[in-house]
Structure 1
Amino acid sequence: MAAHDLSMQLLRERELLEMLLFKLDEQQMLLATGRNRWIRHASTEIERVLAAMPTVALSRDALVIATADEWGAPEATTLRDLIDAAPDDGWREVLTGHLTTMTALADEIEQMKQINEQRLRTAIRITQETIAGLGVPTGEYSPSGDVVRDGDARLLDTRM
């Protein structure tokens, strides 16, 4: 019975990892399209998914130990150990499937996280440069509001 509960818990954990990957993908799309207004919301959603992870992992670990005890292998404290201690090929296959999928999801999440971090750094840099540029006088108007611009075009290079 503990093995079935463990399998269901692993399925819930996989769903949570998929949700995290989806939220990271969503954040990446926002960053790629310059929709920086919504980044805060996407980050909040990612944090919510991450906040649920420790509870899910703790439940999984408890079920791994319970299953190991039920299978007579109390030394099996990880999912990999439990796969080796599985009493038949059916459970070995089910647990290996969970482990393989979760490992692949974790790798995808890590890659997506690195890409998003780079894009966030770029967005921050661009925002800082834009803000810094706001304090530079444009040469168009004086502090009193008079037009002081020279006659040269600003959009076209007329010095060619």
Structure 2
Amino acid sequence: MAAHDLSMQLLRERELLEMLLFKLDEQQMLLATGRNRWIRHASTEIERVLAAMPTVALSRDALVVATADEWGVPEATTLRELIEAAPNDGWREVLTGHLTTMTALADEIEQMKQINEQRLRTAIRVSQETIAGLGVPSGEYTPSGDVVRDGDARLLDTRM
């Protein structure tokens, strides 16, 4: 019975990871389109999902221990160790599926997080430069925030 509860808990954890990935993707789209007005709300939603993670992980760990006890494997303290000690191929396959999916989601989340952090830093820098240059031409920027050319007026582009 503990193994079934563990599988259900792992499913809930996967759904939480998918929600986090969705919220990070949503944040990335807002950043890419310059809709900075909603960034604060997207960040708040990401924080809510992250706040739920420790509780879910603690529940998972408790169920891993309970399942290990039920299967007579007291030394199993991680999901990976529990998979190795599974009493049959069915449980090994189910738990491996959860672990594989959660690992892939974690990798995607890390990549998305890094991209978003870079875009947030760029947005902050562009905003600071804009504020600092109020009344002074600020030039042109690429979608990634790099300066294309300075703010000098030109009749003819001499960079050809």
Q: Normalising by structure 1, what TM-score?
A: 0.86
Q: Are the structure 2 counterparts of residues 43 and 89 from structure 1 closer, same or farther at C-alpha, using a change threshold of 3 Å?
A: same
1:148 is paired with a residue of what secondary structure? strand
Q: Compared with structure 1, are the counterparts of its residues 131 and 68 closer, same or farther at alpha carbon in structure 2 (3 Å cutoff)?
A: same
CA 47–70 in structure 1, closer or farther in 2 if over 3 Å, else same: same
Shift in alpha-carbon separation, 1:156–1:99, aligned structure 2, 3 A: same
Aligned mates of 2:137, 2:80 — CA distance in 1:
64
State the alpha-carbon separation in 2 of the partners of residues 138 and 50 from structure 1: 38
Q: What SS does structure 2 have at the residue aligned with 1:32?
A: helix
Distance 1:151 1:53, change over 3 A: closer
Equivalent pair of 1:2/1:66 in contact (CA under 8 Å): yes
Shift, 1:11, TM fit:
0.1
Count how many residue pairs are aligned between Structure 1 and Structure 2.
160
Q: 1:76/1:133 Cα in 2 relative to 1: closer, same or farther (>3 Å)? A: same
Offset at residue 135 of structure 1 (A): 5.9
The aligned counterpart of 2:137 is 137
Cα distance per residue 1:91-136 (max 9 Å; x no partner): 0000000000000000000000000000000000000000001165
Rg larger in structure: 1
The whole-number CA distance in structure 2 between the counterparts of 1:98 and 1:30 is 31
* Large movers: runs of 4+ above 2 Å: 135-160
- Decide whether aligned partners of structure 1 residues 124 and 110 sit closer, same or farther in structure 2, where only a CA change above 3 A counts: same
Structure 2 unaligned spans of 5+: none
Pair 152,131 (structure 1): closer, same or farther in 2 beyond 3 Å: closer
Q: How far is 1:152 from its partner?
A: 13
CA gap 1:119/1:152 in 2 versus in 1, 3 angstroms? closer
Superposed CA deviations along residues 14-40 of structure 1, whole A, max 9, x for unmatched, are 000000000000000000000011000
What is the distance in 2 between the residues matched to 1:70 and 1:140? 65
- Distance, in Å, in 2 between the alignment partners of 1:3 and 1:146 is 52
C-alpha separation in 2, matches of 1:30 and 1:67: 43
Q: % of aligned pairs identical?
A: 94
Give the Cα separation in 2 of the matches to 1:145 and 1:114. Answer: 16
Report the Cα distance in structure 1 between the residues aligned to 2:107 and 2:142, rounded to whole angstroms: 56
Identify unmatched segments of 5+ residues in structure 1: none
Normalising by structure 2, what TM-score? 0.86
Tell me how far apart the structure 2 counterparts of residues 107 and 145 of structure 1 sit (CA, whole Å).
26
Q: Take 1:86 and 1:144, find their aligned partners in 2: how far apart are those partners? A: 48
Tell me the residue number matched to 1:122: 122
The 8 Å contact of residues 130 and 138 in structure 2, kept in 1 or not, is answered as no
Q: Is the 8 A contact 1:152 1:158 kept in 2?
A: no
